[in-house]
Amino acid sequence: QQGAFKNRREILKVPKLGPKAFEQSAGFLRIRNGDNPLDNTAVHPESYPVVKAIALDLQLPLAKINQGADRFKSVDLNRYVTDTIGLPTLKDIIQELEKPGRDPRAEFKYATFKEGVNELKDLSPGMELEGIVTNVVNFGAFVDIGVHQDGLVHISQLADRFVEDPKQIVKVGQVVKVRVMEVNEKLKRVSLSMRSR
């Protein structure tokens, strides 16, 4: 009924969308060709004043803020830290201005599961497989190897050396090479190793 928004503030006119919902959603909404070029970025309206201050200091018109990537390298972000905007937020803002619309999530990697290995009964000790780490705990890491039951790489099997903390070796989402040590179909447990032998 409203037509296209001209700026993020106009979403406050949407029935039943209050200030709290606006605060939580404004950074996700993009307004193309709107009144404010920052409305087409992931920069939250709460941070607009600091972006305007940076643009002013760089003598960069706000309309060309996305074209100033090389200039941002000279910015001393510590000058703009406040009680409400810390250095990590400022770094995120600069990253967004350098590459508008970038996906801040890390690139997702896929494991290549072995053909014909779909269930626990398809596994046998000694098999070498590729998997993806699904969880890291104090005693090791759980790895999806494509059999509908994650296998455990015990902390003692994560490397050829002593490992104090599994998080020093693996992280969730990491693709790893593993070797099947033991399969217990009855208990639905798979023991894996990342050691070289």
Whether the per-residue pLDDT at 176 is higher than 90: the answer is: yes
Confidence of residue 95 (pLDDT cuts 50, 70, 90): confident
Residues 90 and 27 grouped into a single domain: yes
Residues 72, 15 share a domain = yes
- Residue 151: pLDDT band (50, 70, 90) is very high
Domain range enclosing 90? 8-98
Q: What is the DSSP string of 35-67?
A: S-GGGGSS--GGGHHHHHHHHHHTT--GGGGGG
**Does residue 135 share a domain with residue 84?**
no
Q: What would the mean pLDDT of 149-175 be, rounded to a whole number?
A: 95
* Domain termination site, one of 66, 98, 130: 98
Q: What is the mean pLDDT of the chain?
A: 89
Cα–Cα distance between 148 and 113 in angstroms, integer? 12
Structural domain count, the chain: 2
- Rounded distance between C-alpha atoms, residue 134 and residue 115, angstroms: 20
* pTM of the predicted model as reported, rounded to 2 decimal places: 0.52
Q: How many CB atoms lie within 10 A of CB 172?
A: 12
Q: Are 182 and 176 a contacting pair, CB within 8 Å?
A: no
